[in-house]
Structure 1
Amino acid sequence: MDTDGGDGKEVVWGKMEQDLLQPTTDFLHQERKVELTATLDNNNNNNNNTTSDIVTLDPLHPRVPHSLLDHVYFSSYDGSSVYDNREGTGGTTRRRPLRLETLMFDQVRDEAIKFLTTKFQVTYTRKECSDLRYRNLPTVGMEVDVLCRRRSSSPEVDRVTLMMPVRNPRVVFHSRPTTASLPTAASINIVMPLEGRIDTLRLFLENLQQVIKESHLHLGLTVVYFEDGKSEAARTTLQEAASHTPDLVTHFLLLQPQQFSRSRALKEGVEKSNVTAPVVFLCDVDVLFTSTFLHRCLATPVRGKQVFFPMVFSQYNPELVYALHGRRQPPPLQTLSVQDNEGFWRVWGHGSTQPPAMPSPGMMCVYKSDFLAINGFNPSKTGWGGEDLNFLSKTAARRFKIVRSLDYGLFHHYHPKDCSQAGKGQSWPCAKLRAMSEASSLSFGLWFFRHQYNSSSWGILREKERWEERVREEQENIQYDIGGFSENTQLALTTLLVLLLLNILLTLHLCLRHLHNAKK
């Protein structure tokens, strides 16, 4: 029995009849009963800003894995576009299956073997049925093809297609974060390490002021500054922004001159900030975001159960991007959209898809109480990178659910990278990120042709956009013509039917009249 009674809120989870991670041969038809009760204590505790109710627990939902590598991450949909997290935590060309995927593959193969044995008295082993392909069909489920072939020279192959249907949607959890009411309180405390870069801080504050105006959220900002002789300029900039933004509470925390440590800055910022907020957003000064992201940052974490670790969209060098599009470079706050050839998803920061090999700075939304309880940041670690991975590894070990998704409202603003201060083991990841952050492979190729063959590349991607627009218009015209043809055909058939009925009625009338005259 697992009980979480922190901050006046108690959630009692009933014991499942069977561990969901144990193999089973009736995966497609199994039903498990789960009992769950949730009691909420509605008190005035300032740390309890979320009203939540766990309605039910999906009996087919897996338990949270211990290993960070076994977590299945999320794709996103914003109402018009899909942001597909295809890479997960593996490689770009191929990867090892996750533990839950291996379990699913074994269950599907067992079901196929059972069918062939029962129906045709043909016996296979799992190894002989190791050729699988699968796809997810929205509203239908997962379709899996299993090809079985004996290891002997027999040319016979059995193919079995299985459907793992999608269940009807049902509510399993609900939460409504409440906004802060006290003057010194906030809904989210943004904790940000900083050293120098005052102009970048001004851009960050301009973005923050705009977001506060749009979201109506009461936010806190804690700047942890490493003394470098420019601290007063940073403090003044922060105070001016706070004086013009009623819904912004700030705290300037000054550290004595020492080697920069993002890990120490974030740890001390969370622990020593005088901003009262239940949720902390660990952020960097190069990050810009939209109001929709802040709502996700507030609503996604669950105290004692879940953390939010979004993937940021890293923007390319604008001097390369907009010249190829034939456009002048717009102000930074007008570039907050996810577009091809304008940036890339930073899965693990330094362009890595293998978290243990190349750790890097990451953004995170988590309850302050959970951050302190997990104690995942090492203040002795210098430089940038690695602290987020260590924290997430400890989070996974505590069986927290990690919501890892491509966030279309979170952007890393381009700036030249300096790898001279990279810490031990961080030089290569930094150099890799430095190269990846300049432009896409398409843009690099176009610029190479320009310098190699002296060919103009100004606005060449604009031609690509115009071509795509023409193709889209042609498709729309075809659909319109088909729709118009269908409507005209339907109208003609209706008219013909009406005329036919009138003709029948007229003929019937004439026949009746003829019979009536004949009787006379």
Structure 2
Amino acid sequence: MNSREYCPPYWDSSLPLYERAIQEIEKIRSAVHWFPAFERELPPEAVYSSLISALGKARDDGALPAGLVHRLADLPENIRLVYFSGDPGELSSPRRIGLPPEGKPAGQVHVVVPFRARHSTLRLRNILACLHSVRSQSDANVKFYVTVVESDESPVHRDRLEPWVDNYVFQYQPGPFNKSASLNAGVACTKEDSDVLCLLDADIVVDREFVSRILCESQNASAFLPYEDAFYLDLESSSRVVDGLDADGADFVGTLSGCLLRRPPGGCVVVSSERFRSVGGFDPSFVGWGGEDRDFITRLERESPVPRTPHTLLHLMHERPEMANAAPRATHDPQAPGALA
């Protein structure tokens, strides 16, 4: 899998910056005889670590222009999509969101997961892992319920999904997948007006404290993103995470590889039922791939800020749809990090 396939909009909008970075590397090579060549045809895991090490050595040796040293220092905040291999715990702030004074999260969470997979694909594997992780919360007393909306021409995977959820909803959707319509249908199953909505993509696996953190943070914000960045795992790492869930439901600890997306707008959003209604829910005019999450967050932000928590989402690898039907606004993300100037 090449880097573009992790997140095509991020890759396409950042391509001019990547090309400029390669030009800068070639300039360094012409001045520093030992600096490694950049091989475009090699996978990122074969290039990234050695390149970063070489840049660090060249900086320490005083072989880099001052301006480039400054830009390297700002790189973690400005980069948008980057290869990563390591412990995902290193990506998050050590600060944990505290529990309420009584030590018990208050309220109830409605987890809504939209889904479509025409065949028994990686997407089916992923949603089963997603639901398994949600059901594996460490606090047996935390209150939540789960709705899955399968939007397709027929309820293809009802038998596989229904045992994991409180509500299975089939929504007839014969055309391109409409995630907005699926989410709106799932939210309609909310039991109480006071319930907190967790709108979760089917390819995300969560940790054992996930629901407790949501309930705690929802006392401070009526809408928020329960993560800072998203770690899009490669195929091998995705398989190991899923295998770990199948074994005992424990959180995965160890080295994972893939691409890190900085401050993406989608994957999971938490919002009060009242706030969801106040902005009219998701816009079903977004048909195909992308754009609906950014639109929803933008409309929420017109009312009040939508903060992020210092955590990292884990996204499992899956097949990518044909991008020809992608929403034309998918690359519009005014919240994205700034360009590397």
| Equivalent residue letter for 1:413 | L
1:283 maps to 200
Q: Tell me whether 1:425 sits opposite 2:341 in the alignment.
A: no
| 1:336–1:411 CA contact under 8 A, matched in 2 | no
Q: How many residues align?
A: 228
- Report if aligned partners of 1:316, 1:342 keep a CA contact under 8 Å in 2: yes
2:233 to 316, 328, 336: 316
Deviation at 1:282, TM superposition (A): 0.6
1:306 shift after superposition: 3.9
2:167 is the counterpart of 1:251: yes
- Could you say if the C-alpha distance between residues 368 and 288 of structure 1 is closer, same or farther in structure 2, counting changes exceeding 3 Å? same
Equivalent runs, 1:245-394 vs 2, <5 Å: 250-258=166-174, 259-270=176-187, 272-276=188-192, 278-302=195-219, 306-309=222-225, 310-319=227-236, 329=240, 331-333=243-245, 336=251, 342-349=257-264, 361-375=266-280, 377-394=282-299
SS of alignment partner, residue 401 of structure 1:
coil
Determine helix, strand or coil for the equivalent of 1:402.
Answer: coil
Compute the displacement of 1:239 (Å).
3.2
Deviations 1:278-336 (A, max 9, x none): 10001011111012222221121248x542112353243243x69xxxxx956253795
Post-superposition Cα deviations, 1:233-260, rounded to whole Å, max 9, x if no partner, equal 32x3333235xxxxxxx12222113321
Going from structure 1 to structure 2, the CA distance change for 1:396 and 1:364 (only over 3 Å counts) comes to same
Instruction: Return the TM-score normalized by structure 1.
Output: 0.38
Partner-residue secondary structure (3-state), 1:275 = coil
Distance across 2 between alignment mates of 1:392 and 1:202: 27
Residue identity opposite 2:287 in structure 1: T
How far apart in 1 are the matches of 2:306 and 2:235?
Answer: 33
Aligned equivalents of 1:370, 1:388: Cα separation in 2: 15
SS of the counterpart of 1:403? coil
Q: Distance in 2 between matches of 1:341 and 1:178?
A: 31
**Equivalent residues of 2:105, 2:212 under 8 A apart:** no
Partner of 2:148: 223
Q: Which has the higher contact order (CA 8 A, sep 6+)?
A: 2
| 1:369 Cα deviation from its structure 2 partner | 0.8
Retained in 1: the 8 A contact 2:283–2:296? no
What is residue 162 of structure 2 aligned with on the other side? Answer: 239
* Structure 1 residue 202 corresponds to structure 2 residue 136: no
Q: Note the residue ranges of structure 1 that are not aligned, 5 or more in a row.
A: 1-84, 94-172, 181-186, 243-249, 323-327, 350-359, 430-520
In the alignment, structure 1 residue 405 sits paired with structure 2 residue 331: no
Structure 1 pair 313–332 and aligned structure 2 pair: CA distance change class (3 A):
farther
Q: List gaps (5 residues or longer) in structure 2.
A: 1-74, 81-99, 118-122, 333-341
- The counterpart of 2:110, out of the listed 181, 186, 189, is 189
Q: CA offsets, 1:251-284, max 9 Å, x none?
A: 22221133211122112321x1153361000101
Equivalent residues of 1:175, 1:299 under 8 A apart: no
Q: How far did residue 363 of structure 1 move? A: 1.0
Q: Is the 8 A contact 1:204 1:288 kept in 2?
A: yes
Identity %: 19
Pick closer, same or farther for the CA change 1:175–1:365 going to 2, 3 Å.
Answer: farther
- Give how far 1:413 is off: 1.5
Distance 1:214 1:384 in 2: 35
Q: Secondary structure at the match of 2:136?
A: helix
Structure with higher Rg: it is 1
Which amino acid is 2:130 matched to?
A: F
Q: Provide the alpha-carbon RMSD of the alignment.
A: 3.6
Q: Give the Cα–Cα distance (whole angstroms) in 1 for the partners of residues 291 and 259 of structure 2.
A: 20
Give the 5 Å matches for 1:7-86.
86=76
1:226 positional shift:
1.0
